[in-house]
Structure formats: C-alpha cells, structure tokens
C-alpha cells in the first residue's frame, strides 16, 4: 500500500514537469543546490516523515528516478531531495526562476510544499569547504514583521558572518553558512544551514545553542516567533541547473 508520504512525494515530482521543457544536459545530478544563487524567485520547500529508514530511502529513490525520467519544466533551477539523519525525515527543495509558470508551482504546493523567498544569510568566512550536512531550522511567525525581525536580529548579532572561523580559509566550528528564507505568507522562517558534518553541528548545539545562551535569549525575545526545532540532512538526490 502506498503511504500518504509517498503520495505527496510523487505529486511533488510529477507536478514539476509540466509546461515548457529544458534540456536535461543542463543539469548536474545528485548535488546540493546553490542556495544563494542569483535569479532565483520562489523556493518550494517540504519536509515529510517517512516513518522509517527503509521507507525514507524508497521515497527518495523513487522521487529522484521520477524527476530524472520526466521532462523538466521551464523555470526550474533545482529540485533536490535529502535524507534526514534520523532515518525518517525527507526534505524536498525546489528553486524556480522569478516569473516561472504558475500552474506547476501551484501543483507542487498542493503536493505539500510551502512557498518561500530567500531573504538574508550568515555568509562563509573565507573559502568555504564543501558542505557534508544540511541543517534546517524552522520557526513559526505571526507575520512578515516578526519574521524579518528574527532574521535581521540574528544576522546583525553575527555581523553577517557564520561564526567560528579562526582564519580566512577555514571554519573550525564546522559551520559554513546560514541562509534564511521567509514564507510568502509570513508564517514561517526556514534556515537552510550548511555544515561540514553532523557531529560539528551537534557540538555547537551542545555549547552555543543551549537554553539561556545569547542566541536562544534573542529568539525568545522576539514577539510572534515560535521555534520549531531542527533536522539534519545528507545525501542529496536530484537535479541542479549548471
């Protein structure tokens, strides 16, 4: 029997392949998206609970195969699926050009995705290493004002740079960048954060991100913001335009 999660993932893939088509040779396979890529408009993000490692892998493999086998719609910049390190979660992230056809986008949303816009980042210090783990941090917000206040405050607190670099070429803490997206309806903030590996992020969680620390005190001080936790992801499957 097909689960609700698999139905949503299948819808997510099928509905990104309507309208004008692109040459598949223009796309890289199974790489992470360029999250701050110029020219990106809507970013459609979804997270599912596959309820177990076997189902998680089946969902991701099926979605990747379907994406690779179908015509690619005009306006699609990337569509990537990642596996949660908890053995259950699945992340789907699709970047689209500004002005991309509305029908495919609406259909993807009906498959469970929420529409976001990239807003601001904590940028890498020096030459960043390749990310080995993506951490997603989510917040519920009461509107655009609360969402912007949260992100602006965090970025300003860190002077716009991902903390932890000891020199221009390395990021010893393991943090590479944090890239904040705000949903178009203003009810969510989604941080797509790049890390060297899962263990590096856990070390920061155990130290700098404890309750009562500066970051958590600030988050708790912003009216209209509710933290929704984080998940860690690895092993991208999908397509990213060259």
Whether residue 22 is found in the same domain as residue 100: yes
Work out the pLDDT band at 21, boundaries 50, 70, 90: confident
Whether residue 218 is found in the same domain as residue 184: yes
Whether residue 147 is found in the same domain as residue 67: no
For 89-108, the pLDDT digits (tens) are 999 999 999 887 565 556 55
pLDDT at residue 60 tops 80: yes
Whether residue 132 is found in the same domain as residue 84: no
pLDDT at residue 234 tops 90: yes
Whether residue 126 is found in the same domain as residue 224: yes
H helix intervals, the chain: 4-14, 53-69, 102-110, 144-157, 198-207, 214-221
Whether residue 55 is found in the same domain as residue 148: no
Question: Residue 146's domain spans which residues?
Answer: 120-234
pLDDT at residue 208 tops 60: yes
Whether residue 84 is found in the same domain as residue 133: no
For 140-164, the pLDDT digits (tens) are 999 999 999 999 999 999 999 998 6
pLDDT, mean of residues 28-52: 96
In contact, 123 and 178? CB cutoff 8 Å? no
Closest-CA residue to 233 (of 95, 28, 48, 96) = 48
Whether residue 71 is found in the same domain as residue 131: no
Whether residue 39 is found in the same domain as residue 77: yes
Whether residue 8 is found in the same domain as residue 112: yes
Whether residue 66 is found in the same domain as residue 53: yes
The CATH number for 190's domain is 3.30.70.100
| Number of domains the chain contains | 2
Whether residue 36 is found in the same domain as residue 91: yes
The CATH number for 106's domain is 3.30.70
What are the CA-CA distances from residue 142 to residues 35, 145, 221, 233 (Å)? 25, 8, 14, 27
């Amino acid at each position: 029997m097909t689960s609700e999660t698999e139905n949503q993932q299948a819808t997510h893939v099928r509905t990104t392949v309507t309208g004008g088509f692109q040459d598949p040779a223009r796309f890289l396979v199974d790489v992470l998206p360029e999250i701050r890529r110029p020219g990106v408009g809507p970013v459609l993000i979804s997270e599912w609970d596959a309820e177990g490692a076997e189902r998680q892998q089946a969902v991701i493999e099926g979605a990747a195969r379907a994406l690779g086998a179908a015509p690619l719609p005009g306006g699609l910049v990337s569509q990537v699926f990642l596996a949660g390190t908890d053995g259950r979660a699945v992340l789907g992230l699709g970047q689209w050009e500004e002005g991309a056809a509305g029908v495919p986008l609406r259909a993807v949303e009906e498959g469970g995705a929420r529409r976001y816009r990239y807003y601001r980042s904590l940028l890498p210090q020096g030459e960043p290493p390749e990310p080995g783990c993506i951490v997603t941090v989510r917040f519920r917000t009461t509107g655009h004002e609360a969402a912007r206040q949260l992100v602006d405050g965090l970025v300003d607190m860190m002077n716009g740079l991902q903390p932890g670099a000891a020199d221009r070429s390395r990021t010893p803490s393991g943090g590479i960048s944090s890239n904040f997206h705000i949903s178009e309806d203003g009810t969510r903030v989604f941080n797509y954060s790049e890390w060297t590996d899962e263990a590096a992020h856990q070390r920061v969680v155990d130290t700098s991100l404890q309750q009562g620390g500066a970051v958590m005190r600030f988050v708790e001080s912003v009216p209209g913001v509710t933290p929704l936790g984080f998940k860690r992801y690895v092993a991208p499957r999908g397509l990213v335009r060259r």
